[in-house]
């Protein structure tokens, strides 16, 4: 009897469970981007902790969903997160047709820098990294120079602890090897490589494209280490009003604003103004020198777009920058400018730029681009003057043609004319008796073919020929290959060459500090480089998250490299072509993780071994590590979105030991320590386009030690003192590897008004 009751109870439970199971629902659907189905898309129900991915035809299915109200969460790299609420009432099937919208802050962005042709980032045979204003807003900065540091393998390097001028290093190579473009135009070069970077406000930036490795086959001289292309905003797509202002407890004030307006239905203009001001003298390390350069800077930008028949391109951009910056002894003022009593480095910059593009009104795709910049520099480094003027005129025309559906042909010609004059030996006659401005015409032609062999294989070949009046013919070939294994695995390989004609005085700030004498031992030859890159992109969609990997190995070999010898004589910098070769080799890894809940994490790691291998005076081969090139470096970013539109951003960079310029018997270590600059920000967004934000920068309060040698004797008036200075130390502000600005707070407000 008891056994019969037990069996009856078990049977009843099984029947009930079967009925309950039968009452559970199913969610099915298909995911597309409007044109094609999307595979490996993550689809989840966060409340239940279940999920799946779409198959090869874009379909998904999630079973056994109990009755209740849920939210379907769909994520895929390259697209905005999709959310939709739904309700299961019993045994039913919910069908979804989901159209994913592209997201500009992802791996599928449109890029132009790698091939000079507009393509999807994933389709480009040249690997291109993209930085958008979304990244800038996670850690607000007053200029491009500071913001670009969030790109893995790209390092803004301060070259002077007094005036805080700097350049941008890619994979450990010095700033002059980085070509900086604005809308594809090489107008940020030479003088402005050192002095003009801080004058590019974030407000005019639509995105920044970074190509690592030589690209001289398309862009000519200076593109030896890589390219940073600043793409400015399209007036037609910009908000009607944009405003962003922040202040720090160091009394730094930055204001960015832009206004869009129309003259008529065919002409749209964007006017932008950036103003940065810092006038508060601070000396926390007690060396009687300003820790942070005082600055007063204004940048005005105006871009015009003209609507034409058949959507032909026509645009014109203007920009003016004025900056007054100085650093030095705390009691310095302008009456001491150029004197040898109280040390100060004072720099006045005036800069004007014109950028334009025009597509010819013909059936073929023929584009013309032009730019002009005028740069006036009025500087004193202690009692050493540096007065310079530069004009750069650039124009190019190229024809883009698709042939037989498989070949994309690019054929073009360019011409760059540079006028440069200063008060240094760089622009004097051979006997030094009269001034002789440098006038350099540089014509060139280039050709490129991108061959889509099939759906999986793409081959790109390019060649450029330039003629320099001093160095003759220069040839720059390039070859690249892309293998698309599937939609989640892409392999790229590339080989290229680069060349560069050097102007020491505009590129090496150390030659202008007044602390050392510049010695040029020979007529310098143009530098050449040979580079190979191997890039692998892997997308790993899972039920709980999406993970993207971007791994690159690189190798660059340099001949005729021009190196400054800081070691032979503490009072001199000796320049000559390298009696050997130089190498930059290593690897970088970027990892992007997007969870089904509102958390995303990005991290980057770079290993770069950069060195010279040359014969010393005794004829012995010697290997030397590159200055200011850490072997290990990285970036990180984590974002979490709370309810009610609160967002927390954690960002930062870290660097391993880097070799520093030291004096003979220097008491300071030759290598910097490991250090990390971390920042945190909290943002509250409102539905009307207003955002309020604030946070802390340099959380760990890292500040370099002993950045200036003998700050109490900047004019070396008491060097020859055997009692107080037995080792003959001289004033030297070049021992720098990070900003002297310690932990500080900031608060700001943003506002966007769309039409």
Amino acid 509: pLDDT: 46
**What is the model's pLDDT at position 107?**
45
CB within 8 A of 304, min separation 6: which ones?
235, 267, 268, 269, 315, 316, 317
Which CATH number is 182's domain given? 2.170.130.10
Contact 470, 452 (CB under 8 A): no
Considering the domain architecture, whether residues 630 and 498 belong to the same structural domain is answered as: yes
Grouping H, G, I as helix, E, B as strand and the rest as coil, residue 425 is helix
Laid out side by side, the sheet with 42-45 consists of 50-53, 42-45, 68-75, 82-88
Distance, CA of 532 to CA of 555 (rounded, Å):
5
DSSP annotation of 12: H
DSSP-assigned beta bridge partners for residue 188 = 180
Residue 16 lies in a domain: yes
Please indicate, yes or no, whether residues 453 and 482 belong to a single structural domain of this protein. yes
- pLDDT for residue 215: 62
- The total domain count for the chain is 3
- 220 and 128 share one domain: yes
Q: Which pLDDT score is estimated for 360? A: 95
pLDDT attached to residue 250: 95
Q: Which of 99, 134, 151 lies at the terminal end of a domain, its last residue?
A: 99
Ramachandran assignment for 568, one of left (phi > 0), alpha (psi -120 to 50 degrees), beta (any other) = alpha
Closest CA to 88 of 102, 75, 71, 103: 71
Outline where 55-195 has alpha helix (H): 133-138, 144-147, 191-195
Core vs surface per residue 447-479: b (16+ CB within 10 A) or e: bbbbbbeeeeebebebbbbbebeeeeebebebb
Residues 694 and 247: their CA atoms lie apart, in Å, by 9
- The answer to whether position 345 is within a domain reads yes
The residue from 69, 99, 129 where one domain ends is: 99
Do 712 and 748 share a domain, yes or no?
Answer: yes
Residue 310 lies in a domain: yes
CA distance 479 to 125: 10
pLDDT digits (tens, 9 = 90+) for 600-634: 999 999 999 999 887 776 777 788 888 889 999 99
Answer for the pair 129, 209: CB distance below 8 angstroms, yes or no.
Answer: yes
Q: Is residue 638 part of a domain?
A: yes
Q: Which strands, in side-by-side order, build the sheet including 25-32?
A: 59-65, 25-32, 93-99
Query: 204 and 346 in one domain?
Result: no
Alpha-carbon distance of 490 to 455, in angstroms, equals 12
| 244 located within any domain | no
List of the chain residues with pLDDT < 50? 1-3, 5-22, 104-108, 506, 509-515
* Residue 63 is assigned to a structural domain of this protein: yes
CATH number at 35 reads 2.60.40.10
pLDDT reported for residue 671: 94
Beta pairing class for 572-577 and 517-520:
parallel
H or E, element range at 16 = helix 2-22
Identify whether 246 is part of a domain: no
* 322 and 396 both lie in a single domain: yes
Q: How far is CA 522 from the centre of its chain?
A: 35
Say if pTM beats, i.e. exceeds, 0.85: no
CATH code at position 451:
2.40.170.20
Question: What is the helix (H) or strand (E) element at residue 247, kind and residue range?
Answer: strand 241-248
Q: What backbone phi and psi angles, to 5 degrees, belong to 274?
A: -125, 135
pLDDT score at 458: 93
The residues, ordered by sequence, that sit 6+ positions from 106 with a Cβ below 8 Å of its Cβ are 77, 78, 79
Q: pLDDT tens digits, residue range 134-146? A: 788 898 888 877 8
Co-location of 128 and 199 in the same domain: yes
Asked if residue 608 and residue 585 are part of one domain, the reply reads: yes
- Phi/psi for 144 (5° steps) reads -60, -35
Q: Which residues contact 311 (CB under 8 A, 6 or more apart)?
A: none
Q: With contact defined as beta carbons under 8 Å apart, do 309 and 330 qualify?
A: no
Give the Cβ contact number of residue 245 at 10 Å: 16
**Which domain does 324 fall in, by range?**
230-235+257-753
Residue 10's pLDDT is what?
44
Say whether both 71 and 199 belong to one domain. no
**Residues 528, 666: one domain?**
yes
Of 66, 99, 132, the domain-final residue: 99
CA distance 673 to 389: 39
Residue 216, in any domain of the structure: yes
360 shares its domain with 506: yes
- 33 and 144 part of one domain: no
Question: Kindly report the CA angle at 287 between 142 and 705, in degrees rounded to 5?
Answer: 70
| Confidence (pLDDT) at 7 | 44
């Amino acid at each position: 009897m008891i056994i019969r009751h037990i069996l009856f109870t078990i049977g009843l439970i099984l029947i009930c469970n079967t009925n309950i199971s039968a009452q559970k629902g199913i969610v099915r659907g298909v995911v597309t981007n409007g044109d094609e189905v999307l595979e490996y898309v993550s689809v989840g129900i966060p409340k239940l902790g279940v999920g799946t991915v779409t198959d090869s035809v874009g379909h998904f299915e999630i079973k056994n969903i109990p009755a209740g109200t849920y939210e379907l969460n769909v994520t895929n790299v390259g697209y905005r997160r999709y959310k939709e609420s739904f309700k299961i009432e019993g045994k039913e099937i919910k069908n979804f047709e989901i159209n994913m919208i592209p997201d500009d802050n992802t791996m599928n962005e449109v890029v132009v820098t790698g091939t000079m042709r507009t393509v999807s980032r994933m389709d480009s045979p040249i690997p291109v990294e993209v930085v958008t204003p979304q990244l800038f807003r996670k850690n607000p900065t007053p200029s491009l120079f500071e913001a670009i540091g969030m790109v893995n393998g790209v390092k803004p390097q301060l070259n002077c602890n007094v005036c805080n001028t700097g350049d941008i290093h890619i994979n450990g190579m010095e700033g002059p090897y980085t070509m900086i473009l604005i809308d594809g135009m090489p107008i940020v070069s030479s003088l402005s490589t050192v002095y003009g970077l801080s004058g590019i406000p974030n407000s005019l930036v639509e995105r920044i494209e970074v190509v690592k490795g030589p690209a001289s086959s398309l862009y000519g001289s200076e593109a030896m280490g890589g390219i940073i292309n600043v793409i400015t905003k399209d007036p037609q797509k910009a908000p009607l009003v944009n405003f962003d202002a922040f202040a720090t407890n160091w009394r730094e004030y930055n204001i960015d604003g832009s206004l869009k307006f129309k003259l008529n239905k065919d002409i749209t203009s964007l006017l932008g103004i950036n103003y940065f001001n810092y006038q508060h003298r601070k000396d926390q390390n007690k060396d009687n020198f300003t820790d942070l350069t005082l600055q007063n800077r204004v940048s005005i930008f105006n871009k015009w777009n003209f609507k034409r028949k058949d959507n032909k391109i026509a645009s014109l951009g203007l920009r003016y920058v004025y900056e007054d910056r100085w650093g030095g002894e705390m009691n310095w003022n302008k009456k001491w400018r150029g004197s040898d009593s109280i040390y100060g480095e004072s720099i006045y910059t005036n800069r004007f730029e014109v950028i334009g593009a025009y597509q010819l009104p013909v059936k073929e795709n023929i584009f013309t681009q032009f730019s002009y910049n005028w740069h006036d520099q009025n500087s004193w480094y202690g009692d050493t003057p540096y007065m310079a003027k530069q004009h750069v005129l650039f124009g190019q025309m190229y024809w883009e043609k698709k042939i037989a559906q498989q070949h994309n042909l690019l054929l073009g010609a360019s011409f760059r004319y540079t006028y440069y004059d200063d008060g240094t030996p760089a622009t004097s006659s051979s006997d030094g008796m009269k001034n002789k401005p440098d006038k350099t015409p540089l014509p060139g032609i280039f050709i490129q073919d991108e061959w889509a062999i099939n759906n999986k294989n793409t081959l790109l070949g390019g060649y450029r020929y330039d003629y320099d009046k001093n160095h003759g013919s220069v040839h720059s070939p390039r070859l690249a290959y892309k293998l698309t294994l599937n939609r989640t695995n892409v392999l790229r390989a590339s080989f290229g060459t680069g060349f560069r004609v050097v102007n020491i005085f505009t590129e090496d700030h150390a030659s202008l500090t007044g602390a050392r004498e510049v010695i040029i031992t020979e007529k310098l030859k143009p530098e050449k480089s040979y580079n190979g890159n191997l890039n692998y992109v892997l997308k790993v969609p899972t039920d709980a998250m999406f993970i993207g990997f971007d791994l690159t190995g690189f190798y660059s070999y340099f001949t005729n490299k021009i190196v400054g010898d800081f070691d032979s004589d503490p009072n001199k910098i000796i320049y000559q072509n390298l009696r050997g070769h130089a190498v930059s080799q290593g690897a970088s890894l970027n990892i992007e993780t997007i969870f089904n809940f509102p958390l995303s994490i990005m991290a980057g790691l770079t290993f770069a071994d950069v060195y010279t291998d040359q014969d010393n005076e005794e004829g012995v081969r010697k290997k030397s590590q590159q200055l200011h090139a850490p072997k290990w470096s990285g970036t990180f970013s984590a974002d979490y979105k709370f309810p009610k539109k609160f967002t927390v951003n954690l960002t930062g960079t870290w660097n391993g030991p880097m070799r520093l310029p030291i004096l003979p018997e220097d008491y300071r270590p030759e290598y910097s320590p490991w250090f990390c600059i971390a920042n945190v920000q909290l943002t509250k967004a409102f539905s009307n386009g207003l955002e309020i934000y604030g946070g802390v920068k340099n959380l760990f309060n890292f500040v370099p030690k002993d950045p200036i040698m003998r700050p109490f004797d900047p004019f070396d008036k008491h060097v020859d003192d055997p009692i107080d200075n037995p080792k003959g130390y001289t004033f030297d502000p070049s021992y720098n590897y990070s900003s002297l600005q310690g932990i500080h707070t900031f608060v700001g407000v943003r506002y966007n008004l769309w039409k």
